[in-house]
Structure 1
Amino acid sequence: MRFPFAILGLAAALAACTGDGTPPPAAVSAVPVQRGGALLDRVIGQTAPALTSLFGAPVADIREGPARKLQYGNATCVLDAYLYPKGRAEPTVSYVDARQPDGSPIDRASCVGALQVGRKH
């Protein structure tokens, strides 16, 4: 029974080799973490007029009591921005959710960036 495990271990060790003795390159992130945070900071804490200035008119504006959901979308993604009041102040974005038009997941910051493409700031 030890023989199959020895073969698997050897196969795993050989798979890690690049052939020239150098280790495989480290994985590189495609989107810097700081940039994603900066893009989300453009939305979180903003008012409805600020979002309209950033993205244009929403495709949906849903109100339920004091809460409001503004939805923006294009061919790349759909962004839901949830606005809630704090005391007597104007409601601001507390949370955002994003998805591709087919419902598949997408990074929220990437969606914010995609919605801004082609818009003047």
Structure 2
Amino acid sequence: MSPRFILSLALFPLLAACASTAPQQQTRPTTGAGRVPPTTPPPPAQTWRPAHAMNLPGLEGIIGQTTQGLAQQFGKPRLDVKEGDARKLQFSGQACVLDVYLYPPKKGEEPQATYVDTRRASDGQDVDRVSCVAALRRR
């Protein structure tokens, strides 16, 4: 075997890798009168759903309240965050931090408190919701 022949055999795989192949045409099924279905499904329709309100004893004076009703009980909120039709109000004192989440009961209506979360102001550990509410009402 000549060195040229061995060299051509060694180069053959490299040449084969460079060869182009004809692109394969993808066919998609048609529906109806020649229409082609979309390649991605449409996004799901946005439907509005009312929030499920928390139902715990001792929170009756908060759940269902509007921003104005909460401000009358606790004063001006430390934070007032709006996102879409939802709202988060945060009230704080030395003992604890109270986060109240408000959502509209019906589309287009004023948001009402549906959920309450509490934590200690010092270290962020969970505290009893009713106790925190009572402590913030006393100030």
TM-score range, shorter chain: 0.5 to 0.7
The reply on whether 1:59 has 2:72 as its aligned counterpart is no
Corresponding residue for 2:65?
Answer: 46
Q: State the Cα distance separating 1:89 from its structure 2 match.
A: 2.2
Bigger helix share: 1
* Paired residue type of 2:78: V
Aligned mates of 1:41, 1:82 — CA distance in 2: 14
Q: State the Cα distance separating 1:37 from its structure 2 match.
A: 1.8
- TM-score normalised by L of structure 2: 0.57
Q: State the Cα distance separating 1:104 from its structure 2 match.
A: 1.0
Corresponding residue for 1:112?
Answer: 133
- TM-score normalised by L of structure 1: 0.65
Corresponding residue for 1:75?
Answer: 94
* Paired residue type of 1:92: Q
Considering only aligned residues, what root-mean-square deviation do their CA atoms show, in Å?
1.2
Q: Secondary structure at the match of 1:41?
A: coil
Aligned mates of 1:78, 1:64 — CA distance in 2: 20
- Measured against aligned partners, the alpha-carbon deviations of 1:44-96 in whole angstroms (never above 9, x if no partner) come to 11000000000000000000000000000000000000000122321100100
Q: Secondary structure at the match of 2:90?
A: strand
Overall identity of the aligned pairs, in %: 49
Aligned positions, number: 82
Q: State the Cα distance separating 1:105 from its structure 2 match.
A: 1.2
After TM superposition, the structure 1 = structure 2 runs for residues 95-106 of structure 1, keeping only pairs within 5 Å, are 95-101=115-121, 102-106=123-127
